[in-house]
Amino acid sequence: MVLECLICHRVFFANKFVRHLGSCIPKQVGAGKTVQYVLIRARSEDFGHFAYFLIPDSKTLDDLDEILRNFWLNCCYEHMSAFFIRKEELSMDLELRGFEPKSKLDYMYDFSYTTYLTIEVLKLFEFEPNPDNLSWILGHNEPFEYICDTCNKGKAVQLIPEGRGRGFFCQTCFAESVYGDDEYEEHYCLPVVNSPRMGICEYTGSKNLD
């Protein structure tokens, strides 16, 4: 799997990406007072989505929670969420500087229809960032492609979640189905999006992934 570095916009294989960031990030920095940053990878073990974030180590788990929500997860309600290490819930007030590289945390969003993520602390950087060139979101997986369950060839753009109907639809088959009517679309259908929250609750995507 490949992904684009959102700093230099070059494309890399996922297993080479962290090594690339080790050389790419320092090129974007200036001289002056330094701040320590934490490189974090969030992964969905269930669906294969992943993303890389660079965050000041003075930020807390509550700040990381907000980043994950805005980037990937927030749907129709302010669902509860939590971080865990070995099933022990962590305080949201913990600062990221308290976690060493190779630390792993489990994250849960929405305790009813739960989305699970693995959070990994990969590397520490110390520098003065150049705000014009450095992005908080450093890279993420390319969107997965799903095939229409009706024609078995078109690219899926709409999803009927489990419990409301079934399956993926391409634009043509969706328009020809009963779900294509405005009344059904509003209440039954969700778009195919690049998120582990796809098809759950009322999640329709994030502007960060447009």
pLDDT tens per residue across span 124-139: 888 766 555 455 899 9
Q: What is the domain count for the chain?
A: 2
Residues 136 and 172 occupy one common structural domain: no
Answer yes or no: is 204 within a domain.
no
Answer yes or no: is 14 within a domain.
yes
Answer yes or no: is 198 within a domain.
no
Answer yes or no: is 123 within a domain.
yes
The reported pTM is 0.87
Residues 99 and 15 occupy one common structural domain: yes
Residues 72 and 175 occupy one common structural domain: no
Residues 14 and 115 occupy one common structural domain: yes
d(CA 14, CA 19): 10
Answer yes or no: is 199 within a domain.
no
Residues 37 and 124 occupy one common structural domain: yes
Residue 105: domain span = 2-140
Answer yes or no: is 59 within a domain.
yes
pLDDT tens for the chain, 210 residues long, are: 889 998 889 999 999 999 999 888 877 665 556 778 899 999 998 889 999 999 988 899 999 999 999 999 998 767 999 999 999 999 999 999 999 999 999 999 999 989 999 999 999 888 766 555 455 899 999 999 999 999 999 999 999 876 555 689 999 998 887 665 655 555 578 899 999 999 888 888 886 654
Residues 87 and 174 occupy one common structural domain: no
d(CA 203, CA 69): 11
Residues 84 and 168 occupy one common structural domain: no
Answer yes or no: is 166 within a domain.
yes
Angle, vertex CA 115, rays to CA 111 and CA 118, nearest 5: 115
Answer yes or no: is 71 within a domain.
yes
d(CA 3, CA 11): 6
Residues 169 and 131 occupy one common structural domain: no
